[in-house]
Structure 1
Amino acid sequence: MKAGIRIRTRTGSVRPAPGPVRDSLAVLAALALPAEVLLALTDGAAAAATGAALLTTVALALGRYAAGGAAQDAGLRRPTRVLSGRAPALGRWRRTVADALGDDGEEHLRTVMRPQLQRLFAARLAERHGVEMYRNPDRARALVGNTLWPWIDPGAPAPQPTLPEPVLRSLLDRLESL
């Protein structure tokens, strides 16, 4: 005889822990069969067919849930918004990079490029490392690196008015490697 897990209740009595999913589905199936027979005997074949369709739908939904279909991002949880506003797309990056490295790079770095980099780093740090860049900047600095952190530090201005191309390459390489 297999020893099962036992749970002690508040009253001090000991009861067995709930069985695995297979046992639960077996109990549900055992209850569904008499319900179908009862429907067929009382209301006819149409009611039995409707009941069978309903029971099948419920069984599939419960089976999917029990198998872990709702574990991660199955639409049952409210999605977490890491980025404020729209997610940065890569479609305009060529233009954004060209503008940041161009003659008017100072204004573009302050208004477009640096906020975009900050959002990308914040999303990557939250996604892959569980670190919120704005709430835990020390941990984010440790992950990004002390040399690149001043360029995306949300609490301080950029170290230079323009973004040198080697720094941009290093930032993008680091973003990719995080």
Structure 2
Amino acid sequence: MKAPTRIRAVVDSASGTPGSVRHSLVFLGTAAVAAEVLLALADGAAAAAGGLAVITAVALALGRYAAGGGAEDSGYRRPVRLLASRAPALGGWRHVVSKTLADDGEAHFPTVMRPQLQRLFAARLAERHGVAMYRNPQRARALVGPELWPWIDPQAAAPGPTLPEPVLRLLLDRLETL
């Protein structure tokens, strides 16, 4: 005779299906108790106390890892890689801006300033919004704004040969607010 579905569900949830968290915890708990009993029988109370300390430490470390404690502070989990290179820095930013806004900025803007702005926007979009600018340009455009997007669009040429100072100010303001 076959057991009713409700009774089978209760039995399955109590024992846990192989590979489930409940099943794993039951298995590990049983193994820990068995190890403690064997230590107590073989070497006495001192060995059992040492074994209990080791089991407790391992259980706490695994519990912390499973709960996500290692995600922020210890780097055990692989970080999400939305940028193709290292995060951009602002070293020499004054020099980059002054060269771009100078009279001969036509060569400097497309080769230095625009790629630097693109990296800064890509880093900010990835960091704060989880958007990969190069893989999801439509979402990045929506976040940056259609009026500023052409100046940093990685798939199109810039709207002009130089970057006007008011546009640069707007881009930097938008970068701060993202």
TM-score, with length taken from structure 1: 0.73
**Consecutive unaligned residues in structure 1, runs of 5 or more:** 1-7
SS across alignment from 2:123: helix
Q: Which residue of 1 aligns with 2:9?
A: 14
Q: Which residue of 2 aligns with 1:3?
A: none
SS across alignment from 2:91: coil
Q: How does 1:104-123 map to 2 (within 5 A)?
A: 104-123=104-123
What is the distance in 1 between the residues matched to 2:158 and 2:75? Answer: 39
Q: Name the aligned partner's letter for residue 129 of structure 2.
A: H
Q: How does 1:66-85 map to 2 (within 5 A)?
A: 66-70=66-70, 75-85=75-85
1:72 to partner: Cα distance: 5.9
What is the distance in 1 between the residues matched to 2:28 and 2:84? Answer: 45
Instruction: Tell me, yes or no, if structure 1 residue 169 matches structure 2 residue 169.
Output: yes
* CA shift digits 1:132-163 (9 cap, x unpaired): 22233222222211211110011111111111
Q: Which residue of 1 aligns with 2:55?
A: 55
CA RMSD of superposed structures (Å):
3.5
Identify the range of structure 1 (40-49 vs 138-147) with the bigger mean alpha-carbon deviation.
Answer: 40-49
1:123 to partner: Cα distance: 2.2
* CA shift digits 1:74-101 (9 cap, x unpaired): 5343222222222111222222222222
Maintained 8 Å contact 2:83/2:126: no
What is the distance in 1 between the residues matched to 2:61 and 2:148? Answer: 48
What is the distance in 1 between the residues matched to 2:85 and 2:51? Answer: 46
1:28 to partner: Cα distance: 6.0
Q: Percent identity?
A: 70
Q: Name the aligned partner's letter for residue 147 of structure 2.
A: T
1:25 to partner: Cα distance: 7.4
Maintained 8 Å contact 1:73/1:79: no
**Consecutive unaligned residues in structure 2, runs of 5 or more:** none
Q: Name the aligned partner's letter for residue 131 of structure 1.
A: V
Q: Name the aligned partner's letter for residue 43 of structure 1.
A: D
Maintained 8 Å contact 1:40/1:48: yes
Maintained 8 Å contact 2:82/2:126: yes
Q: Which residue of 1 aligns with 2:138?
A: 138
TM-score, with length taken from structure 2: 0.73
Instruction: Tell me, yes or no, if structure 1 residue 95 matches structure 2 residue 95.
Output: yes
